[in-house]
Amino acid sequence: MTGLPGTGVGPLLLHALRCGGWAGVARLAVAGGLDESTVESELIDLAVAGLVTYMSDGFNVWGLTDAGRAANAERITAELESTGARPAVSAAFERFLVLNPELLDLCAAWQLRPVDGVMTANDHADPSYDARVLGRFADLDRRATVVCAELSAALPRFGRYRVRLSEALDRAGSGELEYLTDGTASYHAVWAELHEDLLATLGIPR
């Protein structure tokens, strides 16, 4: 793509910021499967090109400028059309939309459960309830695997989501409970990024 500094990492980072919102170097490295020093030097180049900006307000995060957003949109559209991936991505998006409400139900069930008819914060003191919710997460994840495979067959860059979703689920399964709904590496957060990516890729406004 013209006007972008050129290792291929730049466009990847722009797209990660487009889908995941403001993010620090460490998170971008995980999202892109890159090492942090590569990410950092690339971000500086992108900033010089006016495509990203740094927010030193205590969050220490990077985000897209309007120019960066436009450059990303142009590239993503060109990629979709030149690879002929639109029909496959559209079809996968429809299947994603069937799973999406169930995933959100599961996140809500992880956080809240009815006790005597009252929705109450899940204090995770009942391992059998947590195991049941986790079991349903795993079941949904198996069905999501099919959608993820369709997506990465159409556009290989979607492959990172499968890796990140599995990692979040594995960590939650081994006792790091925050990896389901809390924080930017949680299953919910990665899923929301995938949702945003599909909207961005297909050019569907929120």
Minimum distance from residue 144 beta carbon to another protein (Å): 11
Q: Is 43 in the site for another protein (CB under 8 A)?
A: no
Number of residues that bind another protein (CB under 8 A): 49
Q: Is 124 in the site for another protein (CB under 8 A)?
A: no
Q: Is 125 in the site for another protein (CB under 8 A)?
A: no
Which span (7-15, 71-79, 153-161, 177-185) binds another protein, by CB under 8 A?
177-185
Minimum distance from residue 174 beta carbon to another protein (Å): 19
**What residues numbered 53-82 form the site for another protein, per CB under 8 A?**
55, 57, 59, 61
DSSP per-residue letters across the chain: -TTS-SSSHHHHHHHHHHHH-SB-HHHHHHHHT--HHHHHHHHHHHHHTTSEEEETTTT-EEEE-HHHHHHHHHHHHHHHHHTT-HHHHHHHHHHHHHHHHHHHHHHHHHHEEEETTEEEE--S--HHHHHHHHHHHHHHHHHHHHHHHHHHHH-GGGHHHHHHHHHHHHHHHTT-GGGTTSSTTSHHHHHHHHHHHHHHHHT---
**What residues numbered 77-116 form the site for another protein, per CB under 8 A?**
94, 97-98, 101-102, 104-109, 111-116
Q: Is 26 in the site for another protein (CB under 8 A)?
A: no
